[in-house]
Amino acid sequence: MIKFIMGFPYASEEGMGSMQERQRRSLVLSDQTFPIIEQITAGMPGGFFIYHADGDKRLIYANQALIRMYGCENLEEFQAYTGYTFPGLVHPDDVVATEESIRKQIVSCGNDLDYVEYRIIRRDGSVRWIEDYGHFVHADHYGDIFYVFVEDATEKSARPWTTPRRPVWPRSGWRHWRRLSTRPRH
């Protein structure tokens, strides 16, 4: 059976590994776990969010650091500003390239991890660069989801170009990523 992730074929049940591997890729996420997630992410230096991998890519959760990253005062303001969807978080000019990069990485790399850089537009109109580290998993209650850690990378390097940087492709986990971009880092 072929499974589709964000509109792309992913893998058959046989290709997904052992039952133990499939269970590791599953996440227990429910209304009871959100207070725990809130406590854990309250002290994180960056943003954290969870969103549906299909449909309108609606957010399920966003921490306070993410809300502040967008220049919003509270969750209601953030929801109104972003539409509370993943595409609503990304600069409109970067949405297609960002989603395509995520799809390609999830489909081709086999470890359900993605990394991409894209721009956002804060509520005050300023543009910031974001580094996005995502993990695709299945949650029994919510279906296929991504949970994502983001950090503001604007100050890390000057970016004189206006299009998203090419993604870093994982070879065998977070520690072995290499840049495909020929643009120099500053």
In three-state form (DSSP H/G/I as H, E/B as E, the rest C), the secondary structure along 89-143 is HCCCCCHHHHHHHHHHHHHHHCCCEEEEEEEEECCCCCEEEEEEEEEEEEECCCE
Q: Above 70 in pLDDT, residue 178? A: no
Q: What pLDDT shows up at residue 109?
A: 78
Residues 16-39: what's their mean pLDDT?
57
Hey, what are 79's tokens? 């929801």
Q: Above 70 in pLDDT, residue 42? A: yes
Residue 142 binned pLDDT confidence (cut-offs 50, 70, 90): confident
Q: Above 70 in pLDDT, residue 183? A: no
Assign 5 to helix, strand or coil. Answer: strand
Looking at per-residue pLDDT, the higher value among 14 and 35 belongs to 35
Q: What pLDDT shows up at residue 71?
A: 98
Task: Give percent above pLDDT 70 in the chain.
Answer: 63
In contact, 16 and 22? CB cutoff 8 Å? yes
Per-residue pLDDT tens over the stretch 64-98: 999 999 999 999 999 999 999 999 999 999 999 99
Q: Above 70 in pLDDT, residue 105? A: yes
- Give me the residue label for tokens 């989801």: 145
Q: Above 70 in pLDDT, residue 22? A: no
Q: What pLDDT shows up at residue 156?
A: 81
